[in-house]
């Protein structure tokens, strides 16, 4: 989405993190993967089919992001609010998560992709926690694309946790809070994408998105893939990021 010129991109951002020039595109993209249910409804299919097709869109997007040289891709997979969904839908989502880990871990390992989880994994079953722990350990040394999966994640909860941790150590400042966020070890967020035509952040990376570019697409998530990601890179290149300057 944004075109970052070398002089503006190299200036320190308000959070104190120095942004690197992004002449070849964004380094860190986050996606709110919205529209699985509507995709299924339009085709008179069960919602779980929409979620299955959404997993296929994740695979396409991860592969494209790795091939395009993206450093970090953060995906909003399951929010703290998603537990309110019907029990059968939550159960289906948990099943899809387990199958995704089992089916795609080898590909991650073979293609130098690192997995990172943000959010509270303790909210999941011991089986899923163990599978995620194994996946994290197996890909920890990989140096290519980092795929960050937000699970049982809510930005307000993350900020509250970070503020408490910062307070326990001393002064509370934007810098000390940033250092305690789940994403503290990642490059700053450059571009936030939301599919399905909705225009809101839905409690996702609200701190990190302070100076990110935003792109809201009418495409439903199961229809997202390389073409849409390439278009997002091109839109980023047209943006002039000033971080509050002129």
Position 25 confidence tier, pLDDT thresholds 50, 70, 90: confident
What is d(CA 170, CA 157) in angstroms, rounded to the nearest whole number? 20
Q: Does 189 map to a domain?
A: yes
Mean pLDDT of 89-103: 92
Domain count across the chain: 1
Maximum distance among all Cα pairs of the chain, rounded to whole angstroms: 55
Q: What CATH number did the domain enclosing 218 receive?
A: 3.40.1180.10
Helix axes 87-110, 47-67, angle to 10 degrees: 20
Q: Does 132 map to a domain?
A: yes
Active site residues: 34, 82
Position 85 confidence tier, pLDDT thresholds 50, 70, 90: very high
Q: Does 69 map to a domain?
A: yes
Whole-prediction pTM value? 0.88
Q: Does 152 map to a domain?
A: yes
Residue numbers of the domain that contains 105: 2-240
pLDDT digits (tens, 9 = 90+) for 215-239: 999 999 999 999 999 999 999 999 8
Position 23 confidence tier, pLDDT thresholds 50, 70, 90: low
| Residue 92 in this model has a pLDDT that exceeds 50 | yes
pLDDT digits (tens, 9 = 90+) for 129-172: 999 999 999 999 999 999 999 999 999 999 999 999 999 999 99
Q: Does 120 map to a domain?
A: yes
* Those residues with Cβ within 8 angstroms of residue 98's Cβ, 6 or more apart along the chain or in another chain: 127, 128, 131
Q: Does 97 map to a domain?
A: yes
Report the chain's C-alpha Rg in angstroms. Answer: 18
Q: For the chain, what is the HEC assignment?
A: CEECCHHHHCCECCCCCECCCCCCCCCEEEEECCCHHHHHHHCCCCHHHHHHHHHHHHHHHHHHHHHCCCCEEEEEEEEHHHHHCCHHHHHHHHHHHHHHHHHHHHHHHHCCCEEEEECCHHHCCHHHHHHHHHHHHHHCCCCCCEEEEEEEECHHHHHHHHHHHHHHHCCCCHHHHHCCCCCCCCCCCCEEEECCCCCCCCCCCCCHHHHCEEEECCCCHHHCCHHHHHHHHHHHHCEECCCCCC
Q: Does 245 map to a domain?
A: no
């Amino acid at each position: 989405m944004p075109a970052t010129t070398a002089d503006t991109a190299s200036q320190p951002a308000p959070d104190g993190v120095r942004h690197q020039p992004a002449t070849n595109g964004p380094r860190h993209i986050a996606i709110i993967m919205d529209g699985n249910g509507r995709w299924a409804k339009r085709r008179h299919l069960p919602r779980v089919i929409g979620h299955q097709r959404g997993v296929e869109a994740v695979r396409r997007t991860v592969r494209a992001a790795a091939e395009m040289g993206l450093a970090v891709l953060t995906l909003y997979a399951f929010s703290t609010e998603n537990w309110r969904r019907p029990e059968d839908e939550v159960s289906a989502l948990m099943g899809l998560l387990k199958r995704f880990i089992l089916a795609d871990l080898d590909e991650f390992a073979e293609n130098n992709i690192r997995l990172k989880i943000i959010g509270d994994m303790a909210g999941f079953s011991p089986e899923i926690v163990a599978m995620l722990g194994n996946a994290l350990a197996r890909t920890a040394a990989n140096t290519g694309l980092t795929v960050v999966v937000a699970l049982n994640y809510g930005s307000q909860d993350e900020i509250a946790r970070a503020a408490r941790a910062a307070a326990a150590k001393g002064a509370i400042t934007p810098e000390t809070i940033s250092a305690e966020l789940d994403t503290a070890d990642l490059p700053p967020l450059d571009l936030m994408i939301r599919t399905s035509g909705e225009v809101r952040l839905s409690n996702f990376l609200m701190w990190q998105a302070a100076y990110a570019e935003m792109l809201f697409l009418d495409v439903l998530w199961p229809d997202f893939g390389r073409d849409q990601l390439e278009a997002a890179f091109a839109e980023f290149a047209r943006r002039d990021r000033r971080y509050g300057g002129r």
